[in-house]
């Protein structure tokens, strides 16, 4: 049998009809009646509990993993509206998917990481290739989450002692950035994480690229705690921000951070000089801004912004890297985790669609392809599982 997979999309407003339509399209595209596993991504215009319930019923209650997104991505279409659903239905005797979940990121991301890893521990095997991770984008501290997971399980991968590769994204919200949702089988929740092990006779390849350039000189983080920055170059962080932003831009924070971010020094062997960090929240009373990862005092930091030319070049680079790893073999499944800050808010609808079409044509215009616009992207960098922002992560399963 091998691997049969199909992707379906719907924009209907009625949640039951939309879920049923997306599932039926996915099953038809895969030429199957009953899937072994389902991935589901959806925007927040729908009742999330009813959405998952309907998809489960329509797929024979097979295992399901996914999350909400700022929008969804499939072949020939990206949609950042409030009403979009994408379903990937998979039937395979080569690839196994095993999913579990845990909640409590805001209170203790480390402990949540330990919990999800302990639940997946018994499912790890010699042929486990990687893990997809979908996490709340508003409450996660990824470094602590990763620390908890990696403290619970480690394994030998391809003969070298390396962490299990983790790929995925932080669940997206709406423009008001209120909450995100994660899906695991029948469960719909926030402040949590879904882990899906990918095992079997398969290989997984990935590439990533951001589209940001520095607009200032190198600076130093001089006061920080956890994932909060209080001072840069011994100045209050908001004094530094006002060198680049007006008071009106700081007040309109949710709109400003779509195009404005921090760059941290990337590992010396990395292809790019920076790893990008989004600032999901600010606290002007405490005088701090929050990242989704730990902050180390003394680290170098740059103020950066999105750059359309760099985004465009990055699309070609990702396609070339994935194709080189596939070595001219067609992938069985494609997953795309793309920052919402690389969508229509920066590029505009026409250019965004053109770049996505370019990527799909280079990698495979007929492959089962599913993705979402995230609040953070996850992919290894120099053999270390890392969190990214304003980045596109493309994962191909062969």
Whole-number pLDDT of residue 168? 98
Rounded to a whole number of angstroms, the distance between the first and last alpha carbons of the chain is 15
Whole-number pLDDT of residue 154? 65
Chain segment 139-149, per-residue pLDDT in tens: 999 999 999 99
Count of C-beta atoms within a 10 Å radius of residue 347: 20
Per-residue confidence band for 156, with pLDDT thresholds at 50, 70 and 90: very low
Per-residue confidence band for 302, with pLDDT thresholds at 50, 70 and 90: very high
Whole-number pLDDT of residue 176? 64
Quick check: pTM over 0.75? yes
Whole-number pLDDT of residue 155? 47
Per-residue confidence band for 380, with pLDDT thresholds at 50, 70 and 90: very high
Pick the residue with more confidence: 316 or 277?
A: 316
Whole-number pLDDT of residue 355? 93
Q: Which residues of 48-59 are buried (b: 16+ CB within 10 A; e: fewer)?
A: beebbbbbbebb
Count of C-beta atoms within a 10 Å radius of residue 289: 25
Chain segment 183-219, per-residue pLDDT in tens: 999 999 999 999 999 999 999 999 999 988 898 889 9
Whole-number pLDDT of residue 177? 63
Whole-number pLDDT of residue 29? 98
Per-residue confidence band for 61, with pLDDT thresholds at 50, 70 and 90: very high
Q: In whole angstroms, give the CA distance from residue 179 to residue 203.
A: 34
Pick the residue with more confidence: 177 or 111?
A: 111
Residue written as token pair 């191909």: 396
Whole-number pLDDT of residue 208? 95
Percentage, residues of the chain above pLDDT 70: 96
Q: In whole angstroms, give the CA distance from residue 51 to residue 122.
A: 30
Decide if pLDDT at 220 tops 90.
Answer: yes
Q: What residue spans define the domains of the chain?
A: 3-209+311-397, 212-305
Residue 215 dihedral angles phi and psi, to the nearest 5°? -115, 5
Decide if pLDDT at 160 tops 50.
Answer: no
Decide if pLDDT at 157 tops 90.
Answer: no
Q: For residue 67, give the nearest of 90, 45, 46, 40 by alpha carbon.
A: 40
Chain segment 305-332, per-residue pLDDT in tens: 888 898 999 999 999 999 999 998 999 9
Percentage, residues of the chain above pLDDT 90: 74
Per-residue confidence band for 276, with pLDDT thresholds at 50, 70 and 90: confident
Chain segment 62-108, per-residue pLDDT in tens: 999 999 999 999 999 999 999 999 999 999 999 999 999 999 999 99
- C-alpha distance from residue 369 to each of 61, 309, 318, 319 (Å): 22, 25, 15, 14
Whole-number average pLDDT of the chain: 92
State the helix-helix crossing angle for 109-120 and 142-152, rounded to 10 degrees. Answer: 40
Whole-number pLDDT of residue 114? 95
For 321, what's the count of Cα atoms within 13 Å in the CB-facing half-sphere?
Answer: 17
Per-residue confidence band for 385, with pLDDT thresholds at 50, 70 and 90: very high
């Amino acid at each position: 049998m091998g691997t049969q997979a199909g992707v379906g999309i719907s924009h209907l407003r009625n949640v039951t009809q939309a879920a049923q339509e997306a599932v039926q399209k996915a099953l038809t595209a895969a030429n199957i009646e009953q899937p072994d596993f389902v991935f589901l991504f959806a925007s927040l215009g729908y009742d999330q509990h009813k959405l998952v319930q309907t998809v489960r019923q329509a797929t024979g209650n097979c295992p399901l993993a996914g999350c909400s997104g700022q929008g969804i991505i499939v072949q020939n279409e990206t949609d950042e509206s409030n009403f979009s659903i994408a379903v990937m239905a998979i039937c395979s005797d080569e690839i196994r998917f095993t999913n579990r979940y845990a909640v409590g990121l805001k209170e203790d991301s480390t402990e949540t990481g330990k919990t999800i890893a302990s639940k997946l521990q018994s499912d790890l095997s010699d042929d486990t290739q990687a893990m997809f991770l979908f996490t709340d984008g508003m409450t996660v501290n990824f470094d602590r989450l990763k620390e908890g997971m990696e403290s619970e399980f480690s394994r030998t991968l391809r003969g070298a002692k390396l962490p299990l590769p983790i790929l995925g994204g932080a669940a997206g919200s709406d423009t008001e950035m209120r909450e995100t949702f994660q899906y695991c089988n029948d469960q719909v929740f926030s402040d949590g994480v879904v882990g899906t092990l990918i095992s079997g006779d398969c290989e997984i390849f990935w590439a990533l690229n951001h589209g940001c350039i520095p607009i200032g000189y190198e600076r130093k983080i001089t006061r920080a705690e956890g994932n909060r920055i209080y001072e840069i170059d011994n100045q209050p962080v908001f004094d530094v921000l006002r060198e680049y932003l007006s008071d009106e831009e700081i007040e309109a924070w949710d709109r400003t951070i779509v195009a404005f971010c921090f760059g941290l020094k990337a590992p010396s062997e990395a292809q790019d000089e920076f790893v990008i960090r989004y600032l999901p929240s600010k606290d002007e009373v405490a005088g701090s801004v929050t990242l989704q990862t730990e902050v180390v005092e003394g680290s170098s930091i740059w103020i950066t912004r999105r750059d359309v030319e760099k985004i465009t070049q990055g699309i070609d680079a990702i396609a070339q890297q994935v194709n080189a790893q596939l070595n001219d073999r067609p992938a069985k499944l494609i997953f795309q985790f793309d920052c919402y800050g690389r969508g229509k808010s920066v590029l505009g609808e026409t250019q965004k669609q053109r770049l996505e079409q370019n990527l799909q044509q280079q990698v495979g215009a007929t492959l089962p392809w599913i993705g979402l616009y995230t609040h953070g992207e996850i992919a290894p960098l120099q053999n270390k599982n890392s969190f990214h922002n304003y980045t596109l992560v493309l994962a191909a399963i062969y």
